Structure 1
């Protein structure tokens, strides 16, 4: 039996790797979203959903309008993200609004419309790609402040995921929050974090995708509403100083 996977934010980085990885599995059918009308060259078996912009109020309706009513997803992965660099000396209102909208507002409306359209059912999974940067507990003076929108929008994303898990648990739909890993992507390079790639144990998006897919296979309703790092503590700079040594993989993260 073929299971259907929806990857929201599938044109680059982690989302593109998840799209390609799932599409190589003959037991999976992949639906993938693009923020614009254009889509990258990819496996012809992938069903593209176009103009799915997470900063647009009608994003949920736009998504549902392109999906056949008989479709039922086994897994929905919301991978789309935006990171706008800022500091205390140079905060940026527009960047912060875009980060909060993408990470913490859009997921509510996407999941709402997907569920109301009957595209998720008992046993389905919703995975929201968050970040360890959203953990208040893991924030430590050695990393300093700054990047308010990035950190706080991910903390808000975690709360959104937790609340969705409470609303969807009676339906048997599991919701997970994940830190997929510190990745060598255009996004982290674009904010100057490439200088930390080597020291920080950054991995390629395809490595992170493989770890995440394995984690999702094992994830179920018993872990709904929880916050995890499938790759463990290796790329989380404050993990040992805050949580101690000999930490497991996967690692459940503190809020």
Structure 2
């Protein structure tokens, strides 16, 4: 039995990823601030009331996971870690909010690094780490401006993920920076071009194709290689 750990698993893309891996007979472990009935039904284990910005909170999750995996038949190994938890806000020159910029940096960029660092003892040769980022983090692709905090936080996540890919490669662990597409989720007011189900399927395919040769790449869920 393989293990997948998903942050922000209670709704949207995270929930659909949980459903996808459940169908593939993975042991699904969901981490979230607030659980949902759907996640409770699909996940083998839910760890809720978690603030990914909190060092103590993530350390507690790591301890719970380690003890849980030790006692399981699948061994103390996370096969796939998906850092999906995120927040989306908008700032403009006319309506600037530095608190929201800081919040997005903490949740979208620093938290995935914190989670991956805390869980690294459970990542073994062959494990995969997926950072759910955004093409809005691409500097060269920015043609419309605004969204200061979101763009900066995803650009920072891309930089952090690239460094992780380099540092984890000698251990046999691959890392992907994955843009799900413009997805119809609560985060964007249910606007979007594709459904969470479609996004999850594309993301899972990219994770399946992830290896040590393409580790550190920035991909659209449809397979397109994105510019930094």
Please report the TM-score for the alignment, with normalisation by the length of structure 2. Answer: 0.91
Aligned equivalent of 2:87: 82
Aligned equivalent of 2:17: 18
Q: 1:84, CA displacement in angstroms?
A: 1.3
> Does the CA-based 8 Å contact 2:33-2:51 persist in structure 1?
yes
Shifted more, 92-101 versus 68-77: the winner is 68-77
Please report the TM-score for the alignment, with normalisation by the length of structure 1. Answer: 0.82
Residue 48 of structure 1 aligns to a residue whose secondary structure is: strand
Pairwise mapping of residues 21-170 of structure 1 onto structure 2 (< 5 A)? 21-26=20-25, 28-36=26-34, 38-41=35-38, 42-43=40-41, 46-69=44-67, 70=70, 71-115=76-120, 118-140=121-143, 144-170=144-170
RMSD: 1.5
Q: 1:179, CA displacement in angstroms?
A: 0.5
Q: 1:89, CA displacement in angstroms?
A: 0.6
Q: Could you tell me how far apart the structure 1 residues matched to 2:43 and 2:198 are?
A: 23
Instruction: Flag the 1:59–1:169 CA change in 2: closer, same or farther, 3 A.
Output: farther
Q: Could you tell me how far apart the structure 2 residues matched to 1:9 and 1:139 are?
A: 26
Structure 2: tracts of 5 or more residues without a match: 71-75
Instruction: Flag the 1:210–1:138 CA change in 2: closer, same or farther, 3 A.
Output: same
> Does the CA-based 8 Å contact 1:20-1:43 persist in structure 2?
no
Q: 1:254, CA displacement in angstroms?
A: 1.2
Larger radius of gyration: 1
Q: Could you tell me how far apart the structure 2 residues matched to 1:17 and 1:64 are?
A: 23
Q: 1:30, CA displacement in angstroms?
A: 0.5
Instruction: Flag the 1:50–1:65 CA change in 2: closer, same or farther, 3 A.
Output: farther
Shifted more, 12-21 versus 39-48: the winner is 39-48
CA distances 1:198-238 after superposition (whole Å, capped 9, x unpaired):
xxxx101111001111121111111111111121xxxxxxx
Q: State the aligned residue count.
A: 220
**Runs of 4+ residues over 6 Å off in structure 1:** none
Q: Could you tell me how far apart the structure 2 residues matched to 1:62 and 1:85 are?
A: 32
Shifted more, 71-80 versus 43-52: the winner is 43-52
